[in-house]
Structure 1
Amino acid sequence: MLEKFLVGTYTKKTSQGVYEMALDTTSNELTSPTLVAKASSPTYLALSKANKLYTVDGDKAAGMGGTSAFDRSTTPATLLNHAFSKGTSSAYVAVDEARQLVYEGNYHMGTLKSFVIQSDGSLKLADVVTHQGEVGPLPEQADGPHVHYTNLTPDNRLIVCDLGMDQVTVYDVADDGKFSLVSTYQAEPGFGPRHVVFNPQKSICYLAGELSSNISVLKYDEATGTLTHVETLKTIPADWTAHNGAAAIRISNDGQFVYVSNRGFNSLAVFAVSEDGTLSLRQQISTEGDFPRDFDLDPSQQFVVAVNQNTDNATLYSRNATTGQLKLIQKDVAVPEPVCVLFEN
């Protein structure tokens, strides 16, 4: 069986945009990438149920950036529109199927945006929030707020990670895409919130701190939309002193295991989830390359695909559903400047 997935990339060297690959679950191998959508550094991707692809994109020459909409029912994908504004490209994009909205987080501009999905799949701006306020103590935070993640909570609010301000904010979203602030969680100084995942079985979420190489367990109260700190753990060994940045975070469908990628230590950290939602480290495994920004579990949950940006390669693991641990089965699969992994199934 072939499980197809998309890879978002930087386009600083040889990459031209979004590529499609497949995981052959019979031979346990990855296929070579095929270009399916040309874009400028489409580092994160989202796919709607209507088979519309939304990508980070930009036009450097014009000083514009934002999100682009493509129709994936054709190959190559058909460009529907660019939802750009003055400034840099965005960092994250997500689809809200219930409200037919797309959310965009812009790291350099410190903005959160919502777009209404039009009948043809193209995007129309609905609302913009610009984060303002005190930033964290580290050099990476000195130049202002940095919105790095915008996606839905289990109760269809929007949760936003701001790496610059060490904050996680929760918003209500109206049907027309307008935002209203519900709560703000303040992480410890220098934590650098990057991405977050929710446990499907518990009122708990797990927050990856890029700058601290930490993962925090947070309790989520749906009644009030607030987050409360439970515990914080390292994603790297205590004796690792070279640079590292925690990146992507994923959780298994059964809510039993959490995975985090480390750029620098170049590994995937595997955590087991206890009955109360707290974590214990079970494995550190090499990504067989440099700077793994992203990875994903396949739909069957039997495999994990990781991609290494600096070494232009993908790595395939089998996954033990009982222990959560990973086993290397293929490495050095050539992919140009890979960043994001998104299974299409």
Structure 2
Amino acid sequence: MQEHFFVGTYTKKSSQGVYQMSLDLDTGRLSAPILVAHADSPTYLARSAANRLYTVDKDANAHTGGTSAFDLSTTPATLLNHVFSDGSSAAYEAVDEKRQLVYEGNYHMGTVKSLTIQPDGSLKVADIITHHGTVGPKPEQADGPHVHFTNLTPDHRLVVCDLGLDQVMIYNVSDAGKLTLVSTFDTTAGFGPRHIVFHPTKPLAYLAGELSSEISVLHYDAANGTFTHLQTLSTIPNDWTAHNGAAAIRISADGQFVYVSNRGFNTIAGFAVGEDGLLSLRQQISTEGDFPRDFDLDPSQRFIVAVNQNTDNATLYQRNATTGQLSLLQKDVAVPEGVCVLFDPIA
């Protein structure tokens, strides 16, 4: 049986855009990547149930960036439209199937954008929020707000991670895509919140801090749309003194294990989730390359695929569902400038 997934990339060297790959569940092997959509540094992706792909994209010549919509029913995919604005490209994309919206987070511009999905799959801006506030103490935060993540909470609010402000915001979203701030959670100074995942059954969230190389456990009060801090752990050993940035965070479908990628230390850190939702470190496993921005669990939950941006390779692991332990299956699979891994649960 084959499971398909997409890889978003930078296009600074040899990459040309978005690639599709396959995982053979019987042999535990990855296929070579096939280009499916031409785009300029489509570093993050989201796919809708209507077989549309929404990607980070930009026009470097015009100094504009934002989101592009593609129809995946053709090969290569057909461009539906760009929704660009002045400034740098976006950092994150997510689809809201219920409201037929796409959410875009722009790191460099410090903006949150909601876009309405039109009947043909193209996009139209619904609302834009620009963040303001006091930045954190790290050099990466000095130039202002940096929205790094925009996705849905379990109760269909929008959660936004702002790395520059050391804040996580919750927004209400109207059916038309209008955003209204509900709450703001302040992390510790210099934490640099990057990505967040929610537990499938408990009122908990797990927040990756890029700049501090930490993971925090937060209680989520859905009644008020607020977070409360419960625990913080390091994602790297105490004796690691070279540069590291925590990047992607994933949680297993059963809520028993949380995984975080480390760029610099170049590992995936595996944490076990206790009955109380708190974490304990169980494993550090090499990504067999340099700068793993992202990884993903396949729909069967038996495998994890990571991509290493600087060494242009993907790595495949087998996952023990009982212990959460990862074991290396395949490495050095050529993938140009890989950033985002998005399994295709609809294929």
Please report the TM-score for the alignment, with normalisation by the length of structure 1. Answer: 1.00
- Residue 309 of structure 1 corresponds to 309
- Residue 151 of structure 1 corresponds to 151
Unaligned runs of 5+ in 2: none
Cα distance, 1:242 vs structure 2: 0.3
Is the counterpart of residue 171 in structure 1 residue 171 in structure 2?
Answer: yes
Cα distance, 1:251 vs structure 2: 0.2
- Residue 131 of structure 1 corresponds to 131
Unaligned runs of 5+ in 1: none
- Residue 218 of structure 2 corresponds to 218
Q: What SS does the aligned partner of 1:140 have?
A: helix
Cα distance, 1:13 vs structure 2: 0.2
- Residue 330 of structure 1 corresponds to 330
- Residue 113 of structure 2 corresponds to 113
Q: What SS does the aligned partner of 2:140 have?
A: helix
Cα distance, 1:26 vs structure 2: 1.1
2:54 maps to a residue whose letter is Y
Q: Deviations for 1:209-251, whole angstroms, at most 9, x for unmatched residues?
A: 0000000000000000000000100000011000000000000
- Residue 277 of structure 2 corresponds to 277
- Residue 59 of structure 1 corresponds to 59
- Distance (Å, rounded) in 1 between the aligned partners of 2:196 and 2:151: 9
Cα distance, 1:254 vs structure 2: 0.2
Cα distance, 1:255 vs structure 2: 0.3
Is the counterpart of residue 297 in structure 1 residue 297 in structure 2?
Answer: yes
- Residue 18 of structure 2 corresponds to 18
- Distance (Å, rounded) in 2 between the aligned partners of 1:343 and 1:280: 27
- Distance (Å, rounded) in 1 between the aligned partners of 2:222 and 2:36: 39
- Distance (Å, rounded) in 2 between the aligned partners of 1:343 and 1:191: 29
Is the counterpart of residue 28 in structure 1 residue 23 in structure 2?
Answer: no
- Distance (Å, rounded) in 2 between the aligned partners of 1:30 and 1:148: 29
2:340 maps to a residue whose letter is C
1:327 maps to a residue whose letter is S
- Distance (Å, rounded) in 2 between the aligned partners of 1:270 and 1:256: 11
2:47 maps to a residue whose letter is L
Cα distance, 1:257 vs structure 2: 0.2
- Distance (Å, rounded) in 1 between the aligned partners of 2:139 and 2:315: 32
- Residue 259 of structure 1 corresponds to 259
- Residue 241 of structure 1 corresponds to 241
1:220 maps to a residue whose letter is Y
- Residue 45 of structure 1 corresponds to 45
- Residue 71 of structure 1 corresponds to 71
- Distance (Å, rounded) in 2 between the aligned partners of 1:215 and 1:295: 16
Identity %: 75
Q: Deviations for 1:24-69, whole angstroms, at most 9, x for unmatched residues?
A: 1111100000000000000000000000000000001101000000
Q: What SS does the aligned partner of 2:115 have?
A: strand
- Distance (Å, rounded) in 1 between the aligned partners of 2:281 and 2:344: 29
- Distance (Å, rounded) in 1 between the aligned partners of 2:28 and 2:94: 29
- Distance (Å, rounded) in 1 between the aligned partners of 2:296 and 2:260: 10
Question: Over aligned residues, Cα RMSD in angstroms?
Answer: 0.3
- Distance (Å, rounded) in 2 between the aligned partners of 1:56 and 1:197: 20
- Residue 320 of structure 2 corresponds to 320
- Distance (Å, rounded) in 1 between the aligned partners of 2:269 and 2:207: 14
1:135 maps to a residue whose letter is V
- Distance (Å, rounded) in 1 between the aligned partners of 2:184 and 2:289: 36
Q: Deviations for 1:178-206, whole angstroms, at most 9, x for unmatched residues?
A: 00000000000000000000000100000
- Distance (Å, rounded) in 2 between the aligned partners of 1:92 and 1:317: 25
- Residue 185 of structure 1 corresponds to 185
- Residue 198 of structure 1 corresponds to 198
- Distance (Å, rounded) in 2 between the aligned partners of 1:175 and 1:299: 29
1:89 maps to a residue whose letter is S
- Distance (Å, rounded) in 2 between the aligned partners of 1:152 and 1:256: 21
- Distance (Å, rounded) in 2 between the aligned partners of 1:129 and 1:238: 38
Q: Deviations for 1:74-98, whole angstroms, at most 9, x for unmatched residues?
A: 1100000001011100000000000
2:93 maps to a residue whose letter is V
Please report the TM-score for the alignment, with normalisation by the length of structure 2. Answer: 0.99
- Distance (Å, rounded) in 1 between the aligned partners of 2:297 and 2:344: 12
- Distance (Å, rounded) in 1 between the aligned partners of 2:86 and 2:319: 43
Q: Deviations for 1:282-337, whole angstroms, at most 9, x for unmatched residues?
A: 00000000000000000000000000000000000000000001000100000000
